[in-house]
Amino acid sequence: MDFSLSEDQRMLQASIQGFLDTAAPLEAVRKAAGGDVSVPVAISGGLLELGVGQAVIPEAYGGLGLGLLEAALVQEALGSVVAPARFLGGVMAAVGIGAAGDEALKAEWLGKLASGDVAFGVAVTERVGAREGAGVTVRDGKLSGRSLFALDTAAATHVLVCDRGGGLHIAEAGAVRRTPLRTIDRTRDFAELEFDGAPAVALSDGDGGVAADRMLAAGRVLLAADTLGAAQTMLDKAVNYAKERKQFNRVIGSFQSVKHMCAEMAAELEPARALVWHAAHALDEDMDEAALLVCLAKAHLAEVGTFIAKTATEVHGGMGFTDLLGLHYWFKRIGANRQLLGGPEQIRAEAAALQGWQ
């Protein structure tokens, strides 16, 4: 049995990678991290023209009808160049809307999302664990409260919000007070959202958070895929540097210690690739073990990514800490991914609970 990617999947990822190599070079990433909003707008616009915004939306609603595995392949490519682009929030919103509400609501909002008439940010981090003073409540169709680390809200027309009970609601972005949050990862958009009686459309209510958890699982898989792409690039950069940098008239790649560092990174990363693919496939197929595999993928990639970020920087020596190489953009992206939607310790606890070990 062949467990590798199909030809269409490989072509999809190659086409996205080809676009990003041209549209998101390091200099563009540097500009975006410095606050140039035109860069993420241009890259996100190019991705929309390629149709990635329609990827996980069913064909019945105007989308491409692809799965989370294909979305993970796109996110891996985005992570490989630390692209400052909108994608994660849109996929999470499409998954959340698709898993909740009646058919009329799904047809309306997924159709608008597929046509590009709306753009979604997501505020779901409190489903993982709310900080003191954070959390959103709903009363009489209006939202109140605060949500931290909302994703992709800068250019959003609407926000998909998770309340404290796990219900999902759609609010217009213009009715929400937005404050940008500066994190170590300057390549992505994070914000604090304040809701003061903001009108909202309920997509799910009293379902125990099933739709919100499905959206959360999709986000975790994409973050694992993003880390996979970023870690692969850091490994590649370390190997290429080891082939060129000379000490004592020898390339450092000929030193046994450097060989071991590069080999260990490769050995840690390669099995992680199949884990991410399998977790995404399990979600697509609604397998019984899907939730567990998502936890394992997110937690394991957080640890592997951290190890590779650290080791690849060490291979570069002092140059690894300079802005000239820009290695820190990948390092910080991996660090942010580690904590977003749950750190590895918390997610391993969830995995233990799923297996009845707690």
Long-range contacts of 60-63 (CB under 8 A, 24+ apart): 61/106, 61/107, 61/110, 61/111, 61/114, 62/110, 62/111, 62/114, 62/115, 63/94, 63/110, 63/113, 63/114
* 191 and 291 co-located in one domain: no
For residue 107, pLDDT over 70 is answered with yes
- Domain count of the chain? 3
* 80 and 164 co-located in one domain: no
Q: Give the model's pLDDT for residue 83.
A: 97
User: pLDDT, tens digit, for every residue of 87-100?
Assistant: 999 999 999 999 98
* 17 and 105 co-located in one domain: yes
Q: Which of 114, 144, 173 is a domain's end point?
A: 114
* 215 and 329 co-located in one domain: yes
CA dihedral 170, 110, 282, 344 (to 10 degrees): -30
* 182 and 256 co-located in one domain: no
AA letter at 177: R
For residue 35, pLDDT over 70 is answered with yes
| Domain contains 170 | yes
Residue 151's domain comprises 118-202
DSSP readout, 171-225? Answer: EEGGGSEEEE---S-TTS-EEEEEEEEEEEEES--SSTTHHHHHHHHHHHHHHHH
Q: Give the model's pLDDT for residue 131.
A: 82
Mean pLDDT (the chain) is 93
* 93 and 135 co-located in one domain: no
**E strands, 238-284, where?**
246-247, 250-251
Beta bridge partners of 202: 169
For residue 1, pLDDT over 60 is answered with no
| Domain contains 1 | no
| Domain contains 106 | yes
* 106 and 20 co-located in one domain: yes
Beta bridge partners of 135: 146
Q: What are the C-alpha distances in Å from 221 to residues 149, 197, 278, 279, 290?
A: 18, 33, 10, 7, 11
| Domain contains 249 | yes
* 48 and 158 co-located in one domain: no
pLDDT (mean) for 132-156: 93
b/e map 93-111, b = 16+ CB within 10 Å: bbbbbbbbbeeebbebbbb
* 165 and 264 co-located in one domain: no
| Domain contains 2 | no
| Domain contains 169 | yes
CA dihedral 164, 169, 172, 174 (to 10 degrees): 0
* 187 and 104 co-located in one domain: no
CATH code for the domain of 53: 1.10.540.10
* 164 and 197 co-located in one domain: yes
Q: Which residues neighbour 348 within 8 Å (Cβ) at sequence distance 6 or greater? A: 295, 299
User: pLDDT, tens digit, for every residue of 265-324?
Assistant: 999 999 999 999 999 999 999 999 999 999 999 999 999 999 999 999 999 998 888 888
* 238 and 314 co-located in one domain: yes
Q: Which of 202, 233, 261 is a domain's end point?
A: 202
Contact present, 187 and 329 (Cβ < 8 Å) = yes
CA distance 200 to 266: 47
Longest Cα–Cα distance of the chain, Å, equals 74
307 phi and psi angles, rounded to 5 deg: -60, -45
- Three-state secondary-structure class, residue 292: helix
| Domain contains 157 | yes
CA distance 155 to 115: 16
What number of other Cβ atoms are within 10 A of residue 222's Cβ?
Answer: 29
Q: Which of 93, 114, 135 is a domain's end point?
A: 114
Global confidence as pTM: 0.95
Residue from 6, 88, 69, 13 nearest 337 by CA: 88
CATH code for the domain of 290: 1.20.140.10
Q: What are the C-alpha distances in Å from 275 to residues 179, 263, 285, 295, 298?
A: 36, 19, 15, 11, 9
> What are the tokens at 304?
């592997």
CATH code for the domain of 148: 2.40.110.10
- Between 236 and 206, the higher pLDDT residue: 236
Name the pLDDT band for 234 (thresholds 50, 70, 90). Answer: very high
